[in-house]
A and B are shown apart, each in its own frame.
Chain A
Amino acid sequence: MRGKELITAMIISAVISCLALMTSGCSITLLKPEYRDNALLIAGSTTAIPYTRALADEFMKYNPGLMVSHNGGGSTPGLIAAKKGAIDVAAMSRDLKKNEDDEHTRGYLFARDGVAIVVHPENPLENLTENQVRDILQGRISNWGTVGGKNSPIKLVCLAEGSITRKMIEDMVMKGERFGKNHVTMESDTQAAGFVAANPDALGYLHLSELSPQVRAVCINGVEISKLTVLSERYPLTRSFYYVIYSEPGPNAEKFVKFACSEQGQKIIEKMGAVPVY
């Protein structure tokens, strides 16, 4: 008698949960929803690629049979492709512009990060304006005396081409112009940090996640770099990353974005050195 009632209970609960799950849109192996395709196409920002790759790898584990393909091309081409229906999700490393944000478009912030401008810990410099940062990186300011320091040349440290941090600085500060000719090139953020730590006249740029006590980050326009000032976007060299969905690209697109913004997705974002936004 007891067994019979327990079985009835389980049957009733299974029915209730299946009904609830079907309406809530979660996917479980028992009730696999029909995929519109078995491919999800994501394209856009180059600097978002590492995040998308890591999220996609994990997402595919929970959606066997679904192929997530991700490409670069740039934020704007990615958005255009999404609006034309050529891809499912656009990855963007900037906010939508007002004329891009229409009633069919939804931009979901999934990460923020920032680039620090760093000097030797004994360098008394506390603050630079964005214009001064640009002038130093482009070689127009080459002496510490010009920005209130002592009369000695600035040792500019640059990251190698292909570096994500370098791409971010180029997007945010350089306005299409080149770095000053007089600089040393480092292969990684870690190496750049080491160089700045060992050279009292050095100035370099590092991803927020690579900051360590061996270097000092200067304030930009009076704002120090921190997780908080990046989340509030008050720090000027902050990058915001969005997944943008246009119209109805299908359930996979929505699920991927939801995953990116979920606790698990945001842990991946954090492990990659960005600031989680959920």
Chain B
Amino acid sequence: MKMKKRLLFPLSACIAIFLITASAWPGKAPVSNSVHLRGSGAILPIAQAVAEAYMKEHPDRIITVTGGGSARGIKAVVDGTANIGMVSSNITGEASKQARERGIIFNKYTVAYDALVPVVNPRNPVSNLSMEQLKKIYSGEVANWKQVGGRDAPIVVVSLDVTSGSFEGWKNMVMGRESVLIPTACVFYQIVDARRHVAENINAIGYIALILLDGKIKAVSVNGIDANKQTLQRGAYPLTRTLNLYTTNAAPENVINFIKYFLDPEKGQQHVQKAGAIPVGQFIQPEE
């Protein structure tokens, strides 16, 4: 008698579980063999390479990668349309606030170090600028190349939209939070469009992720220091930044597994290296 009573509740629970799972068909929750990444155009090429390598090794898994900028990456995680936000800076106070309002807690994973590099047209003779000069160019205080050792020509300032993590980084590290971007700046949503504008405009200056440098634009050293693997690793280059993946703290196992792969020195980090960024294990924090 007593034994049968003890079985009553577990039996009920089992039947309940069966009924719940059986009636969850059709239209049940998305299967967990997929991971969706969204966000930073600077992280995009690395994430694409890691995603394709991961899918080759796990043919039953699906990883989608989409750009749109760091801010949209975080928004997608907050509104549930993506699992991982690719953010090339820290998330803004605004994004944190929105997340808190919805009761969302983020987990942040730094997957690489890269740098912001000021770039000019290849035909521009200027090869070095100080932080002070960069700041003044972007505020409009310096408006002619001759003021910084170049030709007598007006400076065409190229920047990125406020939702770009690269803009966020540039504002923090170069412009200063109180500084206002010169109103005549050419502002682009996509890094590749900004890059093209500098490549096509002899008087343009812009800033770009180290990994997105190409032969059509010229990198400018900052305070006499070039951006390269050695200067980044040593902490000598002043405009270094982290590339990060954000999830909610309720991210399922398959999402965490992909992030682990991204962080694996033999796997994801090889693609970080190949892209020209610094793997996380190889960065030496600069001394304060």
Contacts and interface: CB of A to CB of B under 8 A. Distances in A.
A277 to B, nearest CB: 5
Given A98-B69, A232-B52, A265 B31 contact: no
Of all A-B residue pairs in the complex, the 3 with the closest CB atoms, nearest first, are A13-B15, A13-B16, A16-B16
A163 interface: no
Given A9-B11, A98-B189, A107 B81 contact: yes
Interface of A: 1-2, 5-6, 8-10, 12-14, 16-17, 20-21, 24, 26, 28, 59, 62, 95, 97-98, 101, 103, 106-109, 112, 228-229, 231-234, 240, 255, 258-259, 261-266, 276-278
Contact of A262 (B23, B29, B56): B29
A232 B19 contact: no
B98 interface: yes
Contacts of B26: 62, 259, 262, 264
B52 A9 contact: no
A128 B73 CA distance: 31
Contacts, number: 131
Nearest to A11: B12
**Per DSSP, are chain A's interface residues mostly helix, strand or loop, or mixed?**
helix
B177 interface: no
B36 A255 contact: no
Given A232-B64, A233-B66, A262-B29, A14 B23 contact: no
Given A62-B26, A109-B64, A262-B27, A228 B16 contact: no
Given A262-B30, A263-B28, A9 B65 contact: no
Contacts of A277: 34, 36, 62, 64
B62 A278 contact: yes
B16 A17 contact: yes
B48 interface: yes
A17 B21 CA distance: 9
B19 A95 contact: no
A278 to B, nearest CB: 5
Contacts of A108: 81
B150 to A, nearest CB: 31
Interface string B35-56: 0100000000001100110011
A10 B15 contact: yes
Interface residues of B, number: 46
B24 interface: yes
Given A109-B64, A228-B55, A2 B4 contact: yes
B103 interface: no
A112 B64 contact: yes
Given A5-B5, A278-B34, 4 more contacts: A13-B11, A103-B79, A229-B52, A231-B55
A115 B193 CA distance: 23
B272 to A, nearest CB: 16
A101 B75 contact: yes
Nearest to A265: B27
A264 B52 contact: no
Contacts of A229: 52
Given A9-B11, A26-B23, A278-B34, A231 B28 contact: no
Contacts of B5: 5
Given A10-B15, A101-B75, A261 B80 contact: no
B84 to A, nearest CB: 13
B20 interface: yes
Given A13-B12, A16-B12, A26-B24, A109 B72 contact: no
A100 to B, nearest CB: 11
Contacts of B250: none
